[in-house]
Amino acid sequence: MQRKRLRLITAIGALTLAASGCTGSTTNNNESTDSGSDPRYGGTMTVAYSSNPNTFDPAVCYDATCWNNMRMLFDRLYDYVDDTMELAPQAAEAAPDISDDGLTYTIKIREGMTFSNGDPVRAQDFAYSYSRILDPATKSPVQSFWLGVEGAKEYGKNPQGVVSGIKALSDNELQIKLTAPNSAFKYVLAMPHSSVIPEGTGDQQATDPVGSGPFVFESFEPGREIKLTRNDDYWEEGKPYVDAVDQKINVDPSVQLLQVQKGQVDLMGDPMPPAKYLEVINDPSLKEQTTSITKPSTYFLTLNTQMAPFDDPKVREAVSYAIDRDFLVKLVNGQGQAANQFLPPGIAGYSDKKMVNDQDIEKAKQLLSDAGYPDGLKTTLYTWNDDPWTTLGPQIQQDLKKIGIDADFRPLEPSAFFELAATPDKAPMTLTFWVADFPDGSNFFQALMSCAAAIPGGQNYSFYCNKQMDDTVLEALATEDPDEVTRLYDEAGTTMLADNPVVPLYYGSKTEVFGANVGNYHSQPIWGWDMTNYWKNDGSEARAAN
């Protein structure tokens, strides 16, 4: 226990040190970044997306458009520093005080913070916000991350008041009790879903969000525009730099890229189309506006274990032998590497161990025949309606055709895809991906594969449940020994992939193009944008008086 406690103190100590270099203990002190210019103030940052947000409620958000808005509208206890996966205090004053047994977290709330409606931010608001996640009526896709809180399961059966393990000791002190040590819980407190909202405002957040973040919600016209303005009362002095963020919606990614090149848009809300990759990297005029990053992400197929034909393990195994991963990577211009397991590199628990099956058409055909489908079968493959999905989908369709599976390929608008895939008995097969919410293997196993996540509205599109895998993940979370963590996550991955509820395809990397007028641009591996710390290069040297 003493050794475990020492490792826990070391990890949290690193969190504190990350904050110590920041004036006012903010998560992002990007003035230290060599951006080539001093901060500038004012102006409007214009961005573009291909699709609407499904919601603005942080307890529910999981689509790409709402994700960036979560960081702009809300605060969390902790957040990530610059372009790293290191944590630092945000709404918290400092790192949590953790009991010797690793079960009790006591956290001081930063004083002087207010919500956009003028109310002060209190510990009671955090207790309310976190309890909402565990209320079945909220339909939060991240309930599984919070089930280790004392009283969480009981609260789910009778959601009255707040969860017993989450208490406001005072207006400025929050206490959270766990049922078992969890080395990844500090990251859970930095997830978008852990954003704080005013007590009692849950019903309005989906369409009229109120937060304490650097920007304030102004308006939303579906299919057209989202408007945010600078929060003049934001707790971090001088931030954000820009006065407003204008978000255009229903803009095709190819058009987004063209608009960035012409200076009409500052940032793309969607990935650059693969077909444009060579054109962009070979354009010398875009060299200073291009950056490549490796995202902690896995692209994969899901096979619904509760729907025919994928309720048959042999059919799922056949699909696992059908795919040519290397060719898929070629289709996205080498922006990634073929997967050897479910977890991506850079995540705690990843190893070089090979857990996937190489393409073997004859073996796949035999498995289908053994499952009672000697003449093949028909199914439906759902994915998103833009690149790279519309490029990858037809190739996967061809690979499946080779083994006798006729897959009807149906691309959907992202929010419609999420809703369909998360509904039981609706999507037999999906093509999707996952970027880590935090740099630990439990994020992939618990959010995407656990029994707790196999619920309507969850992210377990396979509706897969294996208690042995779940227990192994919990065992990994209870240790701080990196070698033991890797061994246990290897065991969890091997157990899960033996059932083939998913077929890992490749790990993604990303080339981004940003506008010439964007100052201090950097990509955040977990979030994407860091709008609080960007400025317009043609802005003013000083903030104009209100």
Co-location of 302 and 197 in the same domain: no
Measured in residues, the chain has a length of: 546
H helix or E strand, kind and range, residue 473: helix 467-477
Residue 403, in any domain of the structure: yes
Residue 227, in any domain of the structure: no
Residue 461 confidence (pLDDT): 97
- The string of DSSP codes covering 379-414 is EEEEEESSTTHHHHHHHHHHHHHHHTEEEEEEEE-H
Q: pLDDT by residue for the chain (546 residues), tens digit each?
A: 322 222 333 333 333 333 322 222 233 333 333 445 799 999 999 999 999 999 999 999 988 889 899 999 999 999 999 888 889 999 999 999 999 999 999 999 999 999 999 999 999 999 999 999 999 999 998 888 899 999 999 999 999 999 999 999 999 999 999 999 998 999 999 999 999 999 999 999 999 999 999 999 999 999 999 999 999 999 999 999 999 999 999 999 999 999 999 999 999 998 888 788 889 999 999 999 999 888 889 999 999 999 999 999 999 999 999 999 999 999 988 889 999 999 999 899 999 999 999 999 999 999 999 999 999 999 999 999 988 899 999 999 999 999 999 999 999 998 899 999 999 999 999 999 998 888 899 999 998 999 989 999 889 999 999 999 999 999 999 988 999 999 999 999 999 999 999 999 999 988 899 999 999 999 888 888 999 999 999 999 988 765
β-bridge partners, 168? 174
Residue 81, in any domain of the structure: yes
**CATH number of the domain that 153 lies in?**
3.90.76.10
- Which residues does 87 contact at the CB level (< 8 Å), separation at least 6? 15, 18, 27, 78, 79, 80, 81, 186, 187, 190
Strand-pair category, 405-412 with 377-384: parallel
Please, are residues 180 and 67 in contact by the beta-carbon 8 Å criterion? no
What is the rounded distance in angstroms from the CA atom of residue 227 to the CA atom of residue 27? 24
State both tokens at 428.
Answer: 């037999």
What number of other Cβ atoms are within 10 A of residue 3's Cβ? 9
What is the rounded distance in angstroms from the CA atom of residue 441 to the CA atom of residue 472? 12
pLDDT tens digits for range 291-305: 988 888 999 999 999
Specify whether the backbone of 371 is left (phi greater than 0), alpha (psi in -120 to 50) or beta.
alpha
In degrees rounded to 5, what are phi and psi of residue 294?
Answer: -95, 120
- Tell me which of 188, 204, 220 is where a domain ends: 204
DSSP-derived 3-state class of residue 182:
coil
- Tell me which of 142, 176, 204 is where a domain ends: 204
Residue 510 confidence (pLDDT): 84
- Tell me which of 181, 204, 227 is where a domain ends: 204
Residue 141 confidence (pLDDT): 84
Total domain count, the chain = 2
Residue 98 confidence (pLDDT): 95
Residue 420, in any domain of the structure: yes
Q: What would the 3-class secondary structure string for 243-292 be?
A: CEEEEECCCCHHHHHHHHHHCCCCEECCCCCHHHHHHHHCCHHHHHHEEE
**Domain that residue 186 falls in:** 2-39+75-204
Co-location of 195 and 300 in the same domain: no
Residue 68, in any domain of the structure: no
Please, are residues 193 and 61 in contact by the beta-carbon 8 Å criterion? yes
In sequence order, what E strands does 39-151 have? Answer: 44-48, 78-80, 87-89, 97-98, 104-108
In sequence order, what E strands does 24-158 have? Answer: 44-48, 78-80, 87-89, 97-98, 104-108
Residue 245, in any domain of the structure: no
Residue 545 confidence (pLDDT): 64
Return the closest-CA partner of residue 212 out of 139, 140, 111. 111
DSSP-derived 3-state class of residue 107:
strand
Residue 93, in any domain of the structure: yes
Percent above pLDDT 70 for the chain: 93
Residue 226, in any domain of the structure: no
**CATH number of the domain that 409 lies in?**
3.10.105.10
